[in-house]
Amino acid sequence: ERDIVDGPDGPILVAKLAGSYYAVDATCPHLGLPMKRGPVESTAEGPRLTCSFHNSCFDMGTGRCTRWVTGALGFENDFVSGIMGSVGGARSDVRAYRVTDPGDGYIWVETEEPA
């Protein structure tokens, strides 16, 4: 289950994995490309979103980048990753948002920083 919602700084991807909701920025920091169709999966390391353009991976619970530009379009390729890794933004995390499920059929994505 996944959806894209409007956030204060751009689209946010919201996904339900293993009974829990997660929300992260839906734009890859590498080249600013959309991650709304990237694979979302539960892994031993936690919930993961993969950018479908250059295979960068992000922990959906923390937003931490766990893998940076390893190929293109789902294929691992050292040559492509060497070229693509040298252009665009530097390795960086995405913002993760707190998600609340009050059990009433709606979920809440907290987009404001805590005071």
pLDDT attached to residue 69: 82
Q: Which residue type sits at 60? A: M
Number of independent structural domains in the chain: 1
pLDDT attached to residue 115: 46
Structural domain boundaries enclosing 94: 2-110
Instruction: Let me know if residue 115 belongs to a domain.
Output: no
What digits encode the pLDDT tens for the residues 92-101? Answer: 999 999 999 9
Q: Degrees (nearest 5) of the Cα angle 14, 20, 23? A: 25
DSSP-based helix, strand, coil % in the chain, nearest 5? 5, 45, 50
Q: Which residue type sits at 17? A: L
CATH assignment of the domain containing 69: 2.102.10.10
What digits encode the pLDDT tens for the residues 8-29? Answer: 889 999 999 999 999 999 999 9
The parts of the chain modelled with pLDDT lower than 70 are 75, 77-89, 114-115
Instruction: Let me know if residue 85 belongs to a domain.
Output: yes
Whole-prediction pTM value?
0.84
The dihedrals phi and psi of 92, each to the nearest 5 degrees, come to: -155, 165
